[in-house]
Amino acid sequence: MGKPNDLVQGTLDLLILKTISLEPKHGWAIAKRIQQISNEVLQVQQGSLYPALHRLEQQGWIRAKWGETGTGRQAKFYGLTAAGRAQLKREKESWNRLSSAISLVIEAG
Amino acid sequence: MRWFEQFRMAVLMLFRRNNETARLNDELQFHLEQQIAENRSKGMGMDEARSAALRTFGNPTSLRDQARSTWSWNWLEICLRDIRYGARTLARSPGFAIIAILVMALGIGATTSLFTIARAVLLKPLPFREPNKLVMVYEHFRTAIGGDGFNVVSPHDFRDWREQTHGFEDMAAWRNYGFNLTGEHEELPEVVQAAGGSWNLFSVLGVQPVLGRAFTSGEDHPGANHVVLLSWSLFQRRFNGNASILGNSIRLDTNSYTVVGVLPRWFTYPDPRVQLWVPYAQTFTIDEYAAHDQHQSHVVARLRTGVSAAVATKEVSALQYQLYQANASKPVAEDAVFRPMIDDLVQDVKTPLIVLLCAVGCMLLIACLNVSNLLVARSAARRKEVAVRGALGGSRLTLIREQMTESILICAVGGVLGLVISVLVTGWFANHWQGLPRANTIGVDGSVLAFSIGLVFLTALLAGLLPAVSATGSGVLAALQESSRSIGGSASRAVLRKILLAVEVALTVTLLISAGLLFKSFLHLRTSDLGCVTDHVLTIKYGLPEKQYDTREKVAAFHESLLRQLRSLPGVRAAALVSTPPGGGYDGDDVFTIPERPSDKFNLQYDAIYRTADPEYFSALQIPLISGRFFTDQERLTRDHYVIVSKQLASQFFSGDSPLGKHLKVAWGSKPEDFEIIGVVGDTLYDVTQPSKAMMYFPILSGIPSQTSGATIVLRASGDPLALSLPVQKQVAALDPALPVYEVFTMHQILGNSTANQSFSATLVLAFAGLSLLLAAIGLYGVLSYLVAQRVTEIGIRIALGAQKSEVLRLILLDGLRPVVIGSLIGLAGGAIAGALMRSILYGTSPLDPLVFSIMIGSLFLTAVAACTLPALRAARIEPMQALRTE
């Protein structure tokens, strides 16, 4: 649908939750961070990033706060809520289960 | 904690939406700035960096929309937007909006009102304990002709049923009764409608008196201590709600009765007019209480858990057959039958209510079709707009939703208005329906509200879906290509509108025919011949208490002296006495045998209504003498073994032979005796809504206390009959100041009362039909105007090529009348079906009455032609040059 085939459906949530699990970040930083860590493999488009952030916020996994960036500009920083932390754990487990299962299948003779 | 977070977001999104929107914009702006900064750090110039950033960023509006679409309350936002669009479109054509809203308001209001009444009367459970366990048990005569097969019960049958069968948990009985009510100290007398209830009636129903107690089994015997239970309304009205009346006594028919209790306000069974209750057995003499052949009681039975009504009644029925065999020469029924108590209570109003409900339903449907039709016209005008939006990627669902919003708005506003109308008129409805059972339970409540909300959505769907679907349908390309000059117009849209119109016309015709049938039947009732003179006739009832007027002489003396006084009053052309005047009700019947034509066994069909009359009754009411003579002053006191029979009795039971000099053997007094037939008179109807029945008249001057102490004065006046009512009451009071009179009516009022409900329902259905006709005319006019507007160019060309005005006129008229003809044909069939379903409430009118059918079709066509003529004339007057130039 016009989006690069960057992310498996549903994994964006996991990536976002993981990325902000250490400290709250704003949207731009989240996208950049995912890009960097994945060695430029994963490109998060704004068209998916912001709807995903807002959806996670509506669901109560993450919470937005206004804060100052390094340049002194006001920006919206997203941080994990307690529920979001638990959700990250669940999503991580389910992702591990899934990816190892897939590996098993494709590695099998 | 997560729910708290979610709740916080929901509240935030609902109340600080604008704020959140600003934040979102800022957030996206920040992202863009970061991108620009990054580009610049890669060495791009300011402008280049900016345009590159915008390129990667994509369409900011759609990005914003995508983010917003994840917000909660998004549906609400869309909804509000649709409503705003809908309201704006409606406001652009306020005339259409107002008409449509009013039409829907009227339809929804009337339907809600009738639903409220029908629910309260037909559906709400009775206000008794476990009401679905209550049934009414009746006797059933196998040979009975006419009637509904549910015959009232005799007191001894009831007592045997109760004592000897065990299928029901308990059985109770009640009967209608009447008293002259006075106080202990010569207070104003009045006649009250009363009832006798067996001691267990109130416990069987599960009703507790609000004050005092119910009857005890010891009181339920003929000759036991007189006790009385007051209805709440009598307690308030006559005793000011003063509880000190408990334990004191009141006088009923001059006997002293001790007040033992007051019934709750809501208790209006079997009839709100019942003012007081006395023990069942106390309304009988010892002989009557032991009778199997005197039928007057209603039996209420409560089902035993686990035993069906059919099984329990079967046991009663078996016992009844034994009673029948033991009393073979008397009118004792063979079987017992039952019906649920609620059916018993509402049987008379069920059909009229359902007819009215169907009629308003029809009207509502027509209103929906009309709004639908108007919407189709409007959507046709917006066809291009819709096509353009479709082509630009507006999803069909969105477009349909938008169009539906319009009809939902119309119906919702109409529904609110309609609910207001309904609240206002429901009470009026219920009050104008005479004798509507359970009228006190009628009221707007949750389920009525739910019903009207449901109605709003249903009507919105009906009115809006068809135009919306058809307007957004395929053919986007065709719509875009279609030039406004295209000669054909949009033919498919016209076909849709014509189909809608045909359905509308069909429904209208069905309604018109139903209304016509009801109205004709009502007119038939109003003009039906009672068999006597009805102009300038006044009737007044009185009843002599049997305690004071305890001999034949006393009763006859009162009647005679009253008659003498009345005849001397100025303005009285004739005065007479009868037990019940024509049209005044059934009163009672008796079986008889004819000694001259011995039939081997008792025959139930030898049965006639009885009346008592004085010698001048027949001439006073101009009831014709067919043969023999009237009573004279000689047939009085114990010389009373004479009877006058009606023409129907003579022809039915003497088949051509002269009945004069023959005898009827009737148990008129206490045992069967021979009465010589001295005259045959014309038939009179006991009820205008019923066929006539054989009648026999006994001399009222016999003065037999129980049989002749109740009488109706009939007066023929030279002027206004009601002006005589006060002088007459004074004459009665002069003879006995403690004697009240009641039911002071002219003959026309009696007729009016017994046809009031027919008049009510006929008028209502006629009003609904009239409104539907108006709606159909509006629809027809709208469709045709639209078609003419579509075909202006075509008609212009025709006229330019030499078509005559009359031809154009005919062309348009025929075009408009085609759906009318098709609709009428369907409607005729519908009318015939409706007539057949209403057969039971049509009097003297065939369900296929040709007069009604032709008048109604005629009026429809006249209206249709009128509605079509205006647009057709407009078409004929088209100037060809102007028509061809307009684009």
DSSP B487-541: TT--HHHHHHHHHHHHHHHHHHHHHHHHHHHHHHHHHHHHH---SS--TTEEEEE
Give me B316's structure tokens: 């009663």
Chain B residues touching A50 at Cβ < 8 A: 24, 27-28, 63, 66-67
User: Is the domain of B773 the same as that of B629?
Assistant: no
Q: Do A51 and B71 touch (CB under 8 A)?
A: no
- The CA-atom distances, in angstroms, between B361 and each of B103, B364, B518, B764 are 13, 5, 17, 13
- Which among A46, A51, A81 is the nearest to B31, CB-wise? A46
- Residue numbers of the domain that contains A95: 11-104
Comparing C-alpha atoms, which of B532, B535, B533, B538 is closest to residue B723? B538
Q: Report the relative pairing of strands B572-578 and B642-646 from DSSP bridges.
A: unpaired
Chain B residues touching A61 at Cβ < 8 A: 2
Res A5: pLDDT? 43
Q: Do A50 and B66 touch (CB under 8 A)?
A: yes
Chain B residues touching A82 at Cβ < 8 A: 1
User: Is the domain of B377 the same as that of B463?
Assistant: yes
As a whole number of angstroms, the distance between CA B338 and CA B299 comes to 9
Q: How many domains does chain A have?
A: 1
Q: Is the bond leading into B270 cis (omega within 30 degrees of zero)?
A: yes
Greatest alpha-carbon pair distance for chain A in Å reads 57
Cβ–Cβ under 8 Å, residues B466 and B376: yes
Q: Do B9 and A60 touch (CB under 8 A)?
A: yes
- DSSP-derived secondary structure for B362-386: HHHHHHHHHHHHHHHHHHHHTHHHH
Res B812: pLDDT? 81
The amino acid at residue A15 is L
Give me B22's structure tokens: 């600003």
Interface test with B, best of A28, A68, A81 (most B CBs within 10 A): A28
- The CA-atom distances, in angstroms, between B628 and each of B311, B690, B774 are 54, 28, 59
More confident residue, A7 or B624: B624
- Measured between CA atoms, the residue of chain A closest to residue B23 is A76
User: Is the domain of B366 the same as that of B485?
Assistant: yes
Q: To which residue do tokens 């007191």 refer?
A: B155
- Tell whether A34 is covered by a domain: yes
- Which among A54, A63, A82 is the nearest to B67, CB-wise? A54
Confidence class for position A8, pLDDT limits 50, 70, 90: low
- Tell whether B534 is covered by a domain: no
First to last CA, chain B: 67
> Where is the domain boundary, B332, B367, B389?
B332
User: Is the domain of B511 the same as that of B390?
Assistant: yes
- Tell whether B533 is covered by a domain: no
Give me B336's structure tokens: 């017992």
- Measured between CA atoms, the residue of chain A closest to residue B11 is A58
User: Is the domain of B653 the same as that of B731?
Assistant: yes
- Tell whether B110 is covered by a domain: no
The amino acid at residue B618 is F
- Tell whether A69 is covered by a domain: yes
User: Is the domain of B655 the same as that of B796?
Assistant: no
User: Is the domain of B696 the same as that of B771?
Assistant: no
- DSSP-derived secondary structure for B19-37: HHHHHHHHHHHHHHHHHHH
Give me B9's structure tokens: 């977001």
Give me B722's structure tokens: 């009601």
* Model ipTM over 0.85: no
Q: Do A76 and B27 touch (CB under 8 A)?
A: yes
Q: Do A58 and B71 touch (CB under 8 A)?
A: yes
Q: Do B69 and A74 touch (CB under 8 A)?
A: no
> Where is the domain boundary, B705, B738, B771?
B738
Q: How many domains does chain B have?
A: 4
Q: Do B5 and A55 touch (CB under 8 A)?
A: no
User: Is the domain of B802 the same as that of B873?
Assistant: yes
- Tell whether B138 is covered by a domain: no
User: Is the domain of B443 the same as that of B560?
Assistant: no
Q: Do A54 and B71 touch (CB under 8 A)?
A: yes
As a whole number of angstroms, the distance between CA B849 and CA B693 comes to 26
User: Is the domain of B720 the same as that of B810?
Assistant: no
Chain A residues touching B3 at Cβ < 8 A: 60
- Tell whether B106 is covered by a domain: no
- Tell whether A91 is covered by a domain: yes
As a whole number of angstroms, the distance between CA B160 and CA B626 comes to 46
Using 70 as the pLDDT threshold, list the residues of chain B that sit under it: 1, 144-147, 184-186, 380-381, 393, 434-435, 471-494, 598-605, 886-887
Interface size, chain A vs chain B, as Cβ–Cβ contacts under 8 Å: 71
Give me B871's structure tokens: 């647009």
- Tell whether A1 is covered by a domain: no
Cβ–Cβ under 8 Å, residues B735 and B565: yes
DSSP conformational letter for B724? G
B258's enclosing H/E stretch is: strand B255-262
As a whole number of angstroms, the distance between CA B158 and CA B319 comes to 11
- Which among A47, A61, A74 is the nearest to B66, CB-wise? A47
Res B186: pLDDT? 64
Q: Do A76 and B30 touch (CB under 8 A)?
A: yes
> Where is the domain boundary, B690, B709, B738?
B738
User: Mean pLDDT of all residues in chain A?
Assistant: 84
Chain B residues touching A45 at Cβ < 8 A: 58
User: Is the domain of B477 the same as that of B361?
Assistant: yes
Identify the CATH number of the domain in which residue A97 sits: 1.10.10.10
Residue A93 C-alpha, separation from nearest chain B C-alpha, in angstroms: 20
- Tell whether A4 is covered by a domain: no
- Residue numbers of the domain that contains B50: 2-72
Res B298: pLDDT? 93
- Measured between CA atoms, the residue of chain A closest to residue B36 is A28
- Tell whether B721 is covered by a domain: yes
* Model-wide pTM > 0.90: no
- Which among A51, A75, A82 is the nearest to B67, CB-wise? A51
